Amino acid sequence: MHRPRRNRKSAAIRNMVAETHLGVEHLIYPLFLVEGSNKKIEISSLPNMYRWSLDLLLKEVETCVSLGIHTFVLFPVVDESKKDEIASYSYASDNFYLEAIRQLKEHFPHIELMSDVAMDPYSSDGHDGLVKDGEILNDETLPILGKMSLSQAQAGIDIIGPSDMMDGRVGYIRELLDLEGYTQTSIMSYSAKYASAFYGPFRDALDSAPKHGDKKTYQMNPANKREALIEASLDAEEGADMLMVKPALAYLDVIHLLKENFDLPITAYNVSGEYAMVHAAAQKGWLDYDSIMLESLLSIKRAGADGILTYFAKDFAQLKKDA
């Protein structure tokens, strides 16, 4: 009789034959930055995540580094008064986000810092691209994304993260960065980014929900899988260093598909709604927070993600440290 259970009979054997390993080095921790000082503002739909002012953010990063987290993605919370139709604040010389990039890299030269490139945090329309007569313009958006990326590269960002889903943006940004001498600035492309309701808490955090319409003309239809191959091929061809799938848990098949078809590293964004659901259920005592966190992250890794952007990063690191 075949007895597969023999390979599960002790923790030692189970660990020896474990097929998937997840460590804190695989995780990228999102951080939200707000202008000013001495600010640590709760985000009600994202428990234990805060909008930090730079002074306190520096301390938070120090704590995270001591827990072994070395890669971060930074998002700006921009005051409504600074938003306009062309997202001009995104590349303004006095932009607090760019200043934060400079200071973070100065204080922590060894961390990898990733940005977000899209118009939505800076746009009075709340869309990732330029809006004209209710339409999201593609080619006219590219120069804005280019200016945003170049400003971030000049400030010292390590990885540019285009999350806007405009066609041709990876090639446009790569060419511009190379032309300006930023050949070492990486691009992690949000390749298969779906029009998902799981982004709700993130848009609360940034106050960045679209003022009208939705994002379905540029973000992908959740019904589609083969289309992810088209998006990923274009991004790879245009010079992306890493390909991302987003969200993660409802799209494990897409993560697997990209892993099987591309030699570039694959990353996945375990998004705000996925994190918020676990907190909500744990608060009610319906699920065990730590176990669900570990199982979710492991599943994303098993599906094929090399790196995972996740709000769980700090809790995961703490748990590993205490173990």
Chain residues in the site for ligand PBG (CB under 6 A): 116, 118, 120, 128, 163, 199, 202-203, 215, 271-272
Smallest gap, in angstroms, from Cβ of residue 14 to ligand PBG?
32
**Which residue, 318, 311, 245, 320, is CA-closest to 28?**
311
Helix (H, G, I), strand (E, B) or coil at 310: strand
Of 215 and 259, nearer to ligand PBG (C-beta) is 215
Smallest gap, in angstroms, from Cβ of residue 52 to ligand PBG?
16
How far is residue 40 from each of residues 29, 115, 309, 316, measured CA to CA in Å? Answer: 17, 20, 22, 21
Residue 263 DSSP one-character state: S
CA 311 – CA 269 distance, rounded (Å):
9
How far is residue 61 from each of residues 3, 41, 103, 118, measured CA to CA in Å? Answer: 48, 16, 12, 24
Residue 225 annotated among the catalytic residues of the structure: no
Of 62 and 85, nearer to ligand PBG (C-beta) is 85
Of 37 and 90, nearer to ligand PBG (C-beta) is 90
Residue 193 annotated among the catalytic residues of the structure: yes
Burial of 21 (0-12, 13-18, 19+ CB in 10 A): exposed
Of 13 and 148, nearer to ligand PBG (C-beta) is 148
- Tokens representing 238? 């245009």
Smallest gap, in angstroms, from Cβ of residue 15 to ligand PBG?
32
Of 120 and 235, nearer to ligand PBG (C-beta) is 120
Smallest gap, in angstroms, from Cβ of residue 115 to ligand PBG?
10
Smallest gap, in angstroms, from Cβ of residue 161 to ligand PBG?
8
CA 118 – CA 148 distance, rounded (Å):
8
**Which residue, 54, 110, 107, is CA-closest to 77?**
54
Q: Which among 82, 215, 246, 314 is annotated as catalytic?
A: 246
Of 55 and 135, nearer to ligand PBG (C-beta) is 135
CA 126 – CA 274 distance, rounded (Å):
22
CB–CB of 61/108 below 8 Å? yes
**Which residue, 303, 304, 295, is CA-closest to 312?**
295
**Which residue, 205, 107, 86, 92, is CA-closest to 154?**
92
Q: Which among 82, 83, 193, 301 is annotated as catalytic?
A: 193
CB–CB of 296/270 below 8 Å? yes
Smallest gap, in angstroms, from Cβ of residue 71 to ligand PBG?
16
- Tokens representing 130? 């330029």
Of 15 and 144, nearer to ligand PBG (C-beta) is 144
Smallest gap, in angstroms, from Cβ of residue 5 to ligand PBG?
39
Residue 221 DSSP one-character state: P
CA 150 – CA 285 distance, rounded (Å):
47
Catalytic residues, which ones? 193, 246
